[in-house]
Copies of this chain bind each other. A is one copy, B any other.
């Protein structure tokens, strides 16, 4: 549908990353990505009671924070974690967030 741009991790500030990860909805999205069979997930497969506009915005936030990358496949766009890159930039942060009990 459109071309997505993915920032270089060196351009992502810790504050920005923290802010992005501070929202439970976005963490839920990350969990859903990980829980998927393929490691990729489409916007409409997210288990959240949010409008698709809102979900789209959250995906954009995650993209800008260097947490996910998105590719277009037909009419859908599949997002996956940029785990290694993010880990290299902010060691331990992602595991800390994902390891937490849901809802925390």
Contact = CB atoms under 8 A, between A and B. Distances in A.
A5 interface: no
Contacts of A91: 92, 96
A46 interface: no
Interface of A: 13-15, 18-19, 21-24, 27, 90-93, 96-97, 100, 104
Give how many copies assemble into the complex.
2
A21 B97 CA distance: 14
Contact of A97 (B14, B19, B24, B104): B14
26 contacts: A13-B104, A14-B96, A14-B97, A14-B100, A14-B104, A15-B22, A15-B23, A15-B24, A15-B27, A15-B104, A18-B18, A18-B19, A18-B21, A18-B22, A18-B97, A19-B19, A19-B22, A22-B22, A90-B96, A91-B92, A91-B96, A92-B92, A92-B93, A92-B96, A93-B93, A93-B96
A88 to B, nearest CB: 13
A53 B39 CA distance: 47
